[in-house]
Amino acid sequence: MDDPEQESIGSPSATTKKASKRSNSPSSHRKPCDLCYKMCDVLVRCRIDETLIWHLVCTSKCWKQVSGGEIDGGPGKSYYQYGGMWKNKLAGVSAKKPKQKKNSLIREWNKYGIRYVMNDKVKHAGTIWVCRRSHKSSETTIPDLGCTYWKEYEKVPDEPSDAENLHVDT
């Protein structure tokens, strides 16, 4: 005596399939900001007042308000303390700060054990050189000796001016 209802209990129904899909959804793992209650994939963990309770605040307007826009807190933010980042691992987001572009300052070349890395610029004998491979400086790695560690710096020319673009046939 087979009961059709008993068979349907053991098989996954449409609602359990939907529930399993939802549990794997990135949006179901978001957390709310403790200040504005916006659901977010990346939050900053920090202390913001005299209670010293850790809060999760969104990285947009709330974090800037409580910290003054600085990791260590701005002036007048004596209770602020940074405690790291929380990230929704199912969402394809990053909690890393973008790398700052390195200033392209030009240093004088030094042959005494200075560590040069790729794209470092040095001035030697009146010429600017760019490092091609990371290395320690020595007498064998002098830029103008033709070693493979350096190449002569060629500044990319700017756009030609309008006067240079004019061509007059005579």
CATH of the domain at 147: 2.10.10.90
Instruction: Please check whether residues 32 and 82 belong to one and the same domain.
Output: yes
Q: How many domains does the chain have?
A: 2
In a domain, 66, yes or no: yes
Question: 72: helix, coil or strand?
Answer: coil
Q: Is residue 117 one of the residues assigned to a domain?
A: yes
* pLDDT tens by residue, 105-146: 888 887 777 888 888 888 888 888 888 888 888 888 888 776
Answer whether residue 164 is part of any domain: no
pLDDT of 71: 75
Q: What is the DSSP string of 8-34?
A: HHHS--HHHHHHHHHHTSGGGG-EE-T
Rounded to a whole number, what is the distance in angstroms from the first to the last CA of the chain? 106
**pLDDT per residue over 47-103, tens digit each?**
988 898 999 999 888 998 898 877 777 777 888 898 988 998 887 777 676 666 555
169 lies in some domain: no
Question: Residue 114 sits in which domain range?
Answer: 106-152
At residue 167, does pLDDT exceed 70? no
The rounded distance, in Å, linking the Cα atoms of 9 and 156 is: 71
Gap between the Cα atoms of 66 and 15, Å rounded? 42
What is the torsion angle, in degrees rounded to the nearest 10, for the CA atoms of residue 64, residue 65, residue 68 and residue 74?
Answer: -140
Single-letter code of the amino acid located at 93: V
Residue 63 lies in a domain: yes
Looking at residues 12-28, what average pLDDT do you find? Answer: 62
